[in-house]
Structure 1
């Protein structure tokens, strides 16, 4: 079973959930999760919790204990917040390169599913008639303690955007498309190093080439210890083919570490 995770405390999450139910045939079941009704369409369930999703470590285990199954993948339908209030449609995997400031554990990474995030990026870009930014975000926030693949897909970045009907429709359609297709596609998979939080170079590569990114470590997380780069490769559900470095957007120590690690592991090294 696939899970779309939503929360009552998030306006964007509720917007997306509403569009999924209205437009994509999800029906209420007699199941309950965290005290809330569960909706189903085929092998996909919409679950709702009552608190912020970024703090929901071990969600997969909670689902198994409450509903009796371990999900194959979790898509978190969420808001994105930023001081710039940039209207945006974003996707990313969760985790903390260092200290956990917003959920998850220190130095802990969730399991990335690059094919799903790339499909999300492509579909959001295709459907985007709002003129908003479509991009990856770097790996950040929780939950990081999950033993199944997961990704966040978000409407940003202020209340005006979170409740936008069209944005809700775009994300709902994108989630359905991703869950229907992510196992059927094969891309070249890379771990991304460097750049800003909104990963402009990685986003451009993913939109224009066959490259799909898992974890992305932006410049503000550098320098990175070698064990975290190895963890980023291991915590990717698909085989990692390459280490990609935004060269000017990385600190010298980290870009040399990334280059050396690629050689050591026999991975392609991509310098941009």
Structure 2
């Protein structure tokens, strides 16, 4: 079983942490995969570099298994983050667009109604990232935060994005790239220590948070993750819970129920979270904004 860490050369917030990671000892050339993609190997980790948009590399986990014969356990994407606030930030989040209707075209990859299994490392790595960023003097300049579930690419294995935001100035920050590289290095146990965030349903802290509602950065959900040490499943911000008032519909209807894809979104997020945390107790945490 291998972990895929994926970076693109088109994004400084992606390739710079990958380069910092490769500067650490013990990496070797990885299995041959495809001509336009380099791979590097250390223990059970495969670091991949390609030249495409990070959200368009669909089914990379399946394709890797078919070509190399190695089973993929999880996928971790390195990427940039953009925000209207332009605030410097280091973020983690699961992926999917479970709220979109079948006919809609996802603006940033994925497919309507789909949610990837959330990587169980998200919660433990948020806490680890907070510690590493603090020890490297990135706090309080950088905000450490979760994001709501959004965008692609399509994957079938537990997946998360790690991002540097929120403008080109910060995407290119070498100190931020080094912190992300250390997060991956320490979090996956590449330096010889224990990996952080390996899931076991027998763990005494087997409660998994399914965040429903609130803003994109889920501060109330995040407070529980940092305070109580729970695991993190999907986080559905308010915009991922579309609701339609039947009284406002221009079409004649006898329905008295709120329409929209909010039910489908919650169901897809719940099922994906359940698949990533077998044996876990999934707790819905509701926020309102």
TM bracket, shorter-chain basis: 0.7 to 0.9
Give distance in 2, aligned partners of 1:97 and 1:184. 24
- Structure 2 residue aligned with 1:176, among 185, 188, 194? 185
After TM superposition, the structure 1 stretch with the greater mean CA deviation from structure 2, 34-43 or 153-162, is 34-43
Aligned to 2:87: 86
Change (3 A) 1:29 1:231: closer
Is 1:194 aligned to 2:213, yes or no? Answer: yes
- Structure 1 residue aligned with 2:121, among 110, 113, 116? 116
- Structure 2 residue aligned with 1:206, among 219, 225, 229? 225
Give distance in 1, aligned partners of 2:35 and 2:8. 10
Shift of 1:63: 1.1
Give distance in 1, aligned partners of 2:264 and 2:83. 30
Query: Which structure has greater helix proportion?
Result: 1
Is 1:141 aligned to 2:151, yes or no? Answer: yes
Given that 1:33 and 1:49 are in contact with CA atoms closer than 8 Å, whether structure 2 keeps it comes out as no
Local SS of the residue matching 1:95 = coil
Shift of 1:82: 1.7
Given that 2:96 and 2:150 are in contact with CA atoms closer than 8 Å, whether structure 1 keeps it comes out as yes
Give distance in 1, aligned partners of 2:56 and 2:270. 23
Deviation string, structure 1 residues 224-249 (Cα, Å, up to 9, x no partner): 53232122111020034211101x32
TM-score by length of 1: 0.84
Given that 1:33 and 1:48 are in contact with CA atoms closer than 8 Å, whether structure 2 keeps it comes out as no
Is 1:7 aligned to 2:35, yes or no? Answer: no
Shift of 1:171: 0.8
Aligned to 2:192: none
Give distance in 1, aligned partners of 2:35 and 2:233. 30
Give distance in 2, aligned partners of 1:15 and 1:214. 28
Shift of 1:34: 4.7
Change (3 A) 1:34 1:123: farther
Give distance in 2, aligned partners of 1:97 and 1:67. 30
Deviation string, structure 1 residues 29-77 (Cα, Å, up to 9, x no partner): 4634452321111111101122112122211112123322231011111
After TM superposition, the structure 1 stretch with the greater mean CA deviation from structure 2, 173-182 or 41-50, is 173-182
Q: 1:49-128, aligned counterparts within 5 Å?
A: 49-99=50-100, 100-113=106-119, 115-128=120-133
Give distance in 2, aligned partners of 1:160 and 1:21. 23
Give distance in 1, aligned partners of 2:129 and 2:38. 28
Give distance in 2, aligned partners of 1:85 and 1:42. 37
CA root-mean-square deviation: 1.8
Shift of 1:130: 1.1
After TM superposition, the structure 1 stretch with the greater mean CA deviation from structure 2, 234-243 or 14-23, is 234-243
TM-score by length of 2: 0.80
Give distance in 1, aligned partners of 2:283 and 2:67. 39
Structure 1: runs of 5+ lacking an equivalent = 250-272
Aligned length, in residue pairs? 246
Shift of 1:119: 1.7
Given that 1:102 and 1:141 are in contact with CA atoms closer than 8 Å, whether structure 2 keeps it comes out as yes
Is 1:229 aligned to 2:235, yes or no? Answer: no
Aligned to 2:253: none
Local SS of the residue matching 2:72 = coil
